[in-house]
Structure 1
């Protein structure tokens, strides 16, 4: 199974532009604009992929979601995992003093090989980790073959 890579880095700046930003807006503005307010770190959740003799295991770190927020679909040679958090009902009488976290939607897609059996895909969400098991087809390994050097 291979991972489809995304390039979501901010637009590269010239050295002169960086120096000008630091001198005019200060280093705090530069860091805030590039890393804290943009989706630099929060665009895609981190994923671990493990292969066992029986299956591929995907572990998606997605804390704060519920199992109803996830949508997983498998089509041809791709599996897509997405999540969208519904906005909580706000009480108008409560005044929010500070808000440091929020939940963003995401979608990740992975290429899957022919050895994955679509009928053996299951998912479980617990403790902020979505665990997707992609079972392998039975008897998919070719018998070892000896190659004669001529």
Structure 2
């Protein structure tokens, strides 16, 4: 299969697919990228694992608005200074801003949400509410 690129028609390879995805798809006119997220349920909580390597924990913004949880990172472009005769010939390290919003159900205790960032993975823990089972009872008619 052939695809049209900036260099003309080229065979579709994995490199072309990656370029299309990261540079031609989200990069043109749409600055917000996405991060992959895994969601795990434990006995006491839900955990969102977001893969976002190379960032600092201070870079993340996590907000709760009603039943929506939003995780975001706003990338500020840095100018690379060159000193002496050294200069960058090519720079492929790209960091894009991202924003993900999740709708939480009524089982989440929004007052007990925690987050930690370790080894390039942001883990947001959503504690479950204590839910009491309704008991069976008979209602007397007066």
Normalising by the smaller structure, the TM-score range is 0.7 to 0.9
What does 1:92-131 correspond to in 2, within 5 Å? 92-93=82-83, 94-131=86-123
Match of 2:66 in 1: 76
Q: 1:121 to 1:36 in 2, by over 3 A?
A: closer
RMSD: 3.1
1:65, 1:85 within 8 Å by CA — same for their partners in 2?
Answer: no
| SS in structure 2 at match of 1:102 | coil
**Greater strand share, 1 or 2?**
2
**Greater helix share, 1 or 2?**
1
Q: 1:109 to 1:25 in 2, by over 3 A?
A: same
Match of 2:8 in 1: 25
| SS in structure 2 at match of 1:90 | coil
Under a length normalisation based on structure 1, what TM-score does the superposition of the two structures give? 0.70
Q: Deviations over 1:45-99 (max 9, x none)?
A: 1100011120000000000111111000011111000012333452242411221
Q: 1:62 to 1:137 in 2, by over 3 A?
A: same
Distance in 1, Cα, partners of 2:25 & 2:2: 23
Note the residue ranges of structure 1 that are not aligned, 5 or more in a row: 1-17, 146-150
1:124, 1:132 within 8 Å by CA — same for their partners in 2?
Answer: yes
Deviation at 1:115, TM superposition (A): 1.1
Note the residue ranges of structure 2 that are not aligned, 5 or more in a row: 137-142
Divergent runs of 4+, >6 A: none
Paired residues in the alignment total 126
